């Protein structure tokens, strides 16, 4: 029997949904579950968790709004979407904070129960936006989420206050219905996640009530379906940048036969790497929550001296504090990975918001001539590859490496093709196994700074082998022998040796990839890090207009690829979008004497594709 009133299901190719509510409303969880269900349906997706620095800012205020945006599609996508098509607002503040970002005509679902006078006042509304006509451009659905949730949870035995807390599952159920997401999976997950059976039951009932509300309330006339995207065959998981980075570190250690040691101090938005690695002790991972940022990197360097793969993870304020220890690692020439999950600065800045403003600090933030390789991850899944690459460089060249991620990559997620472990790169720590020189009497001796002729790396000789005992430190060392030397000529020699060794890393890169369609584009967009998705989408939009633009995205910020200068000099215009005030662009201008143009944004959110598109068009038009 067919219900003639049943809503039609309409197929759409993509949709951007934003869940917004109080930071205690469970919006991150709701968004995450919707994302997982979509991933299992085979959609391509990209997410953008956007939350305040306070754990619980005053309830109902704009400052306390926590949001989660997810872009799902039946084709390949690279960003979390410029303008959401659907907003689920659990309270007036969630509505007010997000409505300006919405696409005209977007579906707006509000929790009607939270639009009382008091709630409106907290969000700074004098008149209810539901009645004053200000939402006339949108397709607004008023749903009494709290009262239905408490009603269906009555018999479960939870207190009304606790029942109310299940309302995010009502919202999840409703949106799951609206976008024809599978139900069983979420119910299964609720059952396993909430150990308290009453809470699990309340959440189950709320979820079902939301789903049924869509089905029966005759409020919605259309359901939407976003079918699977054409993925390369394989097995996938949805992965955040922080998780991918942690897994990349574990994999690098495993593939190189090293023990992984993490010395870290909790800091937003990097702490999840510490959490993830702390769980993986079966890999021999040793995690050390240090007394401060300096001790975190210090312990990591000590572990590297002992023959482990030493890693420290932090964000901007922590990187400031680690500068002196990075300098010591430059002098000791030991492998060390410093992960900086960038956030907006200066000082405490915007602790949960994205920025790419630590590039200069990474490149230049130490006293003396102390070159350090810097690499950047460009997408959540690629944090895995970036971590492996950081480890390869650190171990091969016996050097600290700064790996830049950011708040957007850290918390954002995307489907990640699980790699074939046997095909993953491996590298050898190549520990020193005996004396490498003879003294004046022909006796075998060990010289800790005798360099490998091809990599210019010095031997890595952890304590334990007789005959290789050596003393090293932050004082300048004599070339080759490693003994303390105050000689000026030797200092210059060692400075040149350190510089040459780091510069030589670029030999390993392979040709720089240029995303191009023809050979005639006059504009090249050069980006680094998490702007990859937005630049990629912006360039696609330009191409869809029948115009041309190429895209180069840098993983290696230092040393830069050897062929980059020649590539960039072939364009009339080089556009460098960055979530900072122009740090890479200054480097490119000074390095290659090209008139590269900056596109900057420091608003704590990623670029929109439309912003990149407009800037490219502007460059093309400036001929």
Partner 1 sequence: MTTTSTPIPLTTRKDWSSDQEVRWCPGCGDYSILAAIQMMMPDLGVRREKTVFVSGIGCASRFPYYMNTYGLHTIHGRAPAIATGLAVTRPDLDVWVICGDGDALSIGGNHTIHALRRNVNLNVLVFNNQIYGLTKGQYSPTSEEGKVTKSTPFGSIDHPFNPISLAIGAEATFVARTHDMDRAHMQETFKAAHEHRGASFVEVYQNCNVFNDGAFSGITAKDKRAEMLIQLHDGQPIRFGVDQERGVVQRTDGHLEIVDVADVGEEALLVHNAHADDPGLAFALSRLSSDVHSPTPVGVFRSIQREDYGTQMEIQVDEAKTARGDGDLDALFRSATSWTVG
- What is the footprint of partner 1 within residues 365-424 (CB under 8 A)? 418-419, 421, 424
The nearest distance, CB 321 to partner 1, in angstroms, is 11
Compute the Cα dihedral for 599, 600, 601, 607 and give only its sign. Answer: positive
How many Å is the maximal CA-CA distance in the chain?
100
Nearest residue (CB) to partner 1, 301 versus 387: 301
Write out the binding residues for partner 1, residues 309-338 only, by CB under 8 A: 310, 324-325, 328, 332
Among 14, 208, 223, 470, binds partner 1 (CB under 8 A): 470
Among 472, 502, 576, 609, binds partner 1 (CB under 8 A): 472
Write out the binding residues for partner 1, residues 215-234 only, by CB under 8 A: 228, 231-234
Which has the closest alpha carbon to 90: 182, 172, 176, 201? 172
Task: Answer yes or no whether residue 35 interacts with partner 1 by CB under 8 A.
Answer: no
The single-letter DSSP state of residue 407 is: H
Stretch that binds partner 1, among 2-10, 148-156, 257-265, 597-605 (CB under 8 A): 257-265
Among 141, 194, 236, 427, binds partner 1 (CB under 8 A): 236
Number of residues that bind partner 1 (CB under 8 A): 71
Nearest residue (CB) to partner 1, 308 versus 314: 308
Task: Answer yes or no whether residue 110 interacts with partner 1 by CB under 8 A.
Answer: no
Task: Answer yes or no whether residue 235 interacts with partner 1 by CB under 8 A.
Answer: yes
Task: Answer yes or no whether residue 582 interacts with partner 1 by CB under 8 A.
Answer: no
As a whole number of angstroms, the distance between CA 96 and CA 621 comes to 37
Compute the Cα dihedral for 169, 173, 176, 181 and give only its sign. Answer: positive
Which has the closest alpha carbon to 548: 560, 556, 540? 540
Nearest residue (CB) to partner 1, 310 versus 351: 310
Residues 37-76, one symbol each (x = binds partner 1 by CB under 8 A, - = not), give --xx-x----------------------------------
The nearest distance, CB 224 to partner 1, in angstroms, is 21
**Six-digit token string for 603:** 């608003």
Nearest residue (CB) to partner 1, 86 versus 328: 328
Nearest residue (CB) to partner 1, 446 versus 558: 446
| Residue 166 and residue 174 in contact, taking contact as beta carbons nearer than 8 Å | no
Task: Answer yes or no whether residue 474 interacts with partner 1 by CB under 8 A.
Answer: yes
Write out the binding residues for partner 1, residues 480-509 only, by CB under 8 A: 483-484
Among 112, 237, 432, 450, binds partner 1 (CB under 8 A): 237
Among 112, 465, 581, 594, binds partner 1 (CB under 8 A): 465
| Residue 115 and residue 130 in contact, taking contact as beta carbons nearer than 8 Å | yes
Write out the binding residues for partner 1, residues 258-317 only, by CB under 8 A: 259, 261, 263, 280-286, 288, 290-292, 294-295, 298-308, 310
Nearest residue (CB) to partner 1, 71 versus 477: 477
State the CB neighbour count (10 A cutoff) for residue 611.
16
DSSP string over 44-89? EEEEEEE--SSSSPSTTSGGGEEEEEEEEESS---SS-SS-SEEEE
Among 120, 209, 226, 239, binds partner 1 (CB under 8 A): 239
Contacts of range 101-107, beta carbons closer than 8 Å, 24 or more positions apart: 101/18, 102/18, 102/138, 103/16, 104/137, 104/138, 105/137, 105/138, 105/139, 106/138, 106/139, 107/138, 107/139, 107/141, 107/178
Among 7, 435, 462, 504, binds partner 1 (CB under 8 A): 462
- Beta-ladder partners of 87: 18, 108
The nearest distance, CB 31 to partner 1, in angstroms, is 16
Nearest residue (CB) to partner 1, 249 versus 585: 249
Nearest residue (CB) to partner 1, 221 versus 281: 281
State the CB neighbour count (10 A cutoff) for residue 324.
13
Termini Cα distance of the chain: 65
The single-letter DSSP state of residue 421 is: G
Strand, coil or helix: 167:
helix
Question: Does residue 195 come out as left (phi exceeding 0), alpha (psi in the -120 to 50 range) or beta?
Answer: alpha
The nearest distance, CB 289 to partner 1, in angstroms, is 10
The nearest distance, CB 428 to partner 1, in angstroms, is 15
The nearest distance, CB 483 to partner 1, in angstroms, is 7
């Amino acid at each position: 029997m067919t219900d003639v009133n049943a809503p039609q299901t309409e197929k759409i190719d993509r949709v951007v949904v934003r869940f917004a509510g109080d930071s205690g409303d469970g919006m991150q969880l709701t968004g995450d579950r919707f994302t997982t269900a979509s991933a299992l349906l085979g959609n391509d997706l990209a997410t953008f968790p956007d939350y305040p620095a306070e754990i619980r800012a005053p309830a109902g205020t704009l400052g306390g709004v926590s949001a989660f945006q997810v872009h799902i599609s039946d084709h390949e996508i690279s960003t979390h979407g410029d303008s959401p098509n659907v907003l689920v607002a659990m309270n007036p503040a969630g509505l007010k904070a997000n409505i300006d970002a919405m696409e005209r005509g977007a579906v707006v679902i509000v929790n009607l129960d939270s639009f009382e006078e008091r709630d409106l006042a907290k969000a700074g509304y004098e008149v209810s936006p539901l009645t004053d006509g200000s939402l006339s451009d949108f397709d607004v659905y008023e749903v009494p989420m709290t009262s239905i949730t408490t009603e269906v949870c009555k018999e479960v035995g939870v207190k009304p206050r606790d029942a109310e807390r299940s309302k995010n599952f009502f919202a999840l159920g409703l949106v799951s219905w609206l976008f024809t997401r599978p139900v069983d999976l979420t119910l299964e997950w609720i059952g396993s996640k909430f150990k308290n059976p009453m809470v699990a039951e309340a959440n189950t009932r709320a979820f079902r009530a939301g789903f049924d509300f869509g089905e029966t309330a005759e409020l919605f006339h259309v359901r939407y379906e976003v079918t699977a995207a054409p993925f390369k065959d394989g097995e996938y998981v949805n992965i955040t940048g922080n998780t991918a980075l942690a897994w990349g570190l574990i994999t690098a250690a495993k593939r190189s036969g090293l023990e992984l040691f993490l010395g870290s101090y909790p800091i937003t938005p990097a702490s999840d790497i510490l959490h993830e690695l702390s769980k993986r002790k079966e890999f021999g991972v040793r995690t050390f929550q240090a007394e401060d940022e300096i001790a975190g990197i210090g312990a990591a360097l000590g572990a590297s001296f002992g023959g482990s793969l030493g890693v420290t993870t932090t964000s901007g304020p922590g990187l400031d504090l680690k500068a002196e220890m990075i300098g010591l690692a430059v002098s000791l020439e030991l492998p060390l990975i410093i992960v900086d999950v960038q956030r907006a600065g200066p000082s405490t800045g915007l602790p949960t918001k994205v920025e790419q403003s630590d590039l200069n600090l990474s490149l230049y933030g130490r006293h003396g001539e102390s070159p350090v390789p810097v690499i950047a991850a460009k997408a959540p899944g690629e944090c895995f590859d970036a971590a492996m690459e950081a480890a390869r460089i650190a171990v091969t060249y016996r050097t600290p490496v700064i790996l830049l991620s950011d708040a957007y990559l850290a918390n954002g997620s995307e489907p990640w093709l699980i790699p074939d472990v046997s095909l993953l790169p491996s590298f050898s720590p190549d520990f020193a196994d005996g004396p490498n020189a003879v003294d004046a009497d022909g006796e075998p001796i060990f010289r800790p700074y005798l360099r490998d002729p091809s990599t210019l790396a010095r031997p890595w000789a952890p304590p334990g082998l007789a005959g290789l005992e050596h003393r090293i430190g932050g004082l300048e060392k004599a070339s080759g022998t490693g003994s303390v030397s105050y000689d000026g000529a030797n200092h210059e020699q060692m400075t040149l040796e350190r510089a040459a060794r780091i510069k030589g890393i670029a030999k390993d890169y392979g040709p720089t990839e240029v995303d191009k369609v023809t050979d005639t584009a006059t504009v090249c967009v050069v980006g680094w890090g998490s702007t990859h998705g937005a630049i990629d989408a912006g360039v696609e939009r330009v191409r869809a207009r029948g115009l041309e633009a190429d895209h180069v995205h840098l993983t290696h910020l230092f040393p830069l690829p050897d062929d980059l200068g020649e590539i960039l000099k072939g364009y009339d215009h080089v556009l460098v979008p960055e979530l900072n005030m122009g740090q890479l662009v200054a480097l490119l201008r000074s390095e290659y004497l090209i008139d590269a143009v900056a596109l900057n944004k420091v608003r704590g959110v990623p670029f929109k594709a439309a912003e990149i598109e407009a800037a490219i068009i502007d460059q093309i038009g400036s001929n």
